[in-house]
Amino acid sequence: MWLRLAALAAFAIVPCVHAQVRSPAVSPETLTLDDAIARVARVHPDLRLFGARTDALLAERDAAILRPPLSAGMQVENMLGTGDARGFSGAELTLTLAGVLERGGKLDARRTLAQARIDALAVQREAQRLDLLADVARRYLAVTAAHAQRGVAEHDIAQRRRTVAAARQRLQVGASPESVLLTAQAALARAEMAAARAKQQQDAARQHLAALWGERDPGFAVAPGDPLALPAIEGTQALAALLQGTPELAQFAEERRLREARLRLARSRGTADLDWQVGVRRLQESGDTALVGSVSLPLGSARRSGPEARAAEADLAALDIERESRDIALYSTLTDAHGRYRVSQLEVQRMRDDVLPRLVRAEQAAERAYRAGAISYLEWAQLQSETTSTRRQQLEAALEAHRALIELQRLTGQALVAGTATAEQGSTP
């Protein structure tokens, strides 16, 4: 079940950030989030490394299922002595074949342990893949955020240019001093500097994104998106129920099988193996041959294997506590991310519905009043700064919501979009 959810999540992280990426208007040079995910999943070494690890574990499994080897030997007695045993005249030659008869199910225990390690590696790969895809989404969001910040700066530039034009007009008619025009020009320069900084941040974020698949000189453009569009998500309890199917907790099921296999192997060592040997001996005096054989059984195997078995039992018993601790940590992270998302979503919505419309109307009224000489430049400039600051605050709240959404999707392995009705919530007034 979790494998299917993880595969689904691989192409569903931050759906609203690239909601428009499947439009036919997107050029071939434009990189979508799906494109970035596909590149990383194909070439990232953290994922390719699991192939080599799997090969190593398969080789170890092949070695573990081998039975103890047979040993061929030769034994010579009664030679190089004194008297009748002088030289090789009285030597007796014995040819032997020896082996070990494993008891207690050691072969099956080794096979189960080796297979459990292989199965556990598959779960670890899926957990690593989700973490990596979440990182892709965060870096992709950083590029989109820089683009949106540049848009806010360009909107501020347009405001400041109107202020400069109005201040120049009032200076020409002698209605205001030159200092007002210079102040307005300085504010315009700061707005242009903010736009340039956002462009540099976008280039840096794009380079950071391309580094995930080893591209040193990225020539792509990121697909446009609206960071202010925030989807509706389920409540905390509904999301908490999804945690049980995530790879992070699924690893504990595989780890249980692994530790149970280790315990079984440790217990099997308490049953002593039987060493056997058969052979053929040539009797020198009569020239006849005879069969020889021996069997040996080590003593004290159960006592010697006891500490290892107790350690394996303790590890198995501790697993439930480890899972409980991890479950609490995951739930705490989920509730924190869910709370941050809801708070940021509310902040974006209230700014869109209540704050920004009033500030925009106030700024427009202040422009008319300034041109008519009813208010000073400082009053108009203050409203412009307040409007721009509010837009930036709204954008930062939206970005915080998307970061929380990425974390929620990483934890649950699902897209978490409850509906599409909220896609229109991000429109800027």
CA distance 403 to 336: 12
- Does pLDDT of 5 surpass 70? no
Per the rule left: phi > 0, alpha: psi between -120 and 50, beta: everything else, 413 is left
Residue-range definition of the domain harbouring residue 303: 2-426
Paired tokens of 270: 């308490």
Strand partners of residue 98: 71, 277
pLDDT for res 393? 95
Phi, psi (deg, nearest 5) at residue 23: -70, 145
Half-sphere exposure of 5 (CA within 13 A, CB side): 20
pTM: 0.77
CA distance 225 to 17: 5
Rounded to the nearest integer, the mean pLDDT of the chain is 83
378 and 176 Cβ atoms separated by less than 8 Å? no
- Does pLDDT of 19 surpass 50? no
CA distances to 66, 263, 264, 303, 305 from 269, rounded to whole Å, are 16, 10, 9, 10, 6
- Does pLDDT of 67 surpass 70? yes
CA distance 196 to 215: 24
Strand partners of residue 94: 75, 281
CA distance 234 to 231: 10
- Does pLDDT of 14 surpass 70? no
User: Which own/partner pairs from 166-175 qualify as long-range (CB within 8 Å, at least 24 positions apart)?
Assistant: 166/367, 166/370, 166/371, 167/377, 169/371, 170/371, 170/373, 175/373
- Does pLDDT of 18 surpass 50? no
Query: pLDDT grade, residue 1 (50/70/90)?
Result: very low
CA distance 15 to 230: 9
73 and 98 Cβ atoms separated by less than 8 Å? yes
Segment 362-374 mean pLDDT: 90
Report the number of distinct structural domains present in the chain: 1
pLDDT for res 359? 94
Segment 260-282 mean pLDDT: 86
- Does pLDDT of 425 surpass 60? no
Segment 283-309 mean pLDDT: 82
Total residue length of the chain: 429
pLDDT tens sequence across 140-174: 999 999 999 999 999 999 999 999 999 998 888 88
pLDDT for res 88? 65
Paired tokens of 387: 């409007």
pLDDT for res 23? 39
Between 184 and 19, whose confidence is greater? 184
pLDDT tens sequence across 27-44: 447 888 888 888 888 888
pLDDT tens sequence across 337-364: 999 999 999 999 999 999 999 999 999 9
Segment 11-21 mean pLDDT: 43
pLDDT for res 153? 95
What share of the chain in percent tops pLDDT 70?
A: 87
CA distances to 8, 45, 209, 225, 247 from 214, rounded to whole Å, are 25, 10, 9, 25, 27
pLDDT for res 191? 94
> Which domain CATH number covers 63?
1.20.1600.10
- Does pLDDT of 86 surpass 90? no
pLDDT for res 264? 86
Q: Which of 76, 88, 27, 85 minimizes the C-alpha distance to 279?
A: 76
pLDDT tens sequence across 317-328: 898 899 999 899
The sign of the torsion formed by the CA atoms of 60, 62, 68, 73 equals: negative
Counting beta carbons within 10 angstroms of the beta carbon of residue 92, is it exposed (0 to 12), middle (13 to 18) or buried (19 or more)?
middle
Place of tokens 């229109």: 424
Segment 83-106 mean pLDDT: 78
pLDDT for res 423? 37
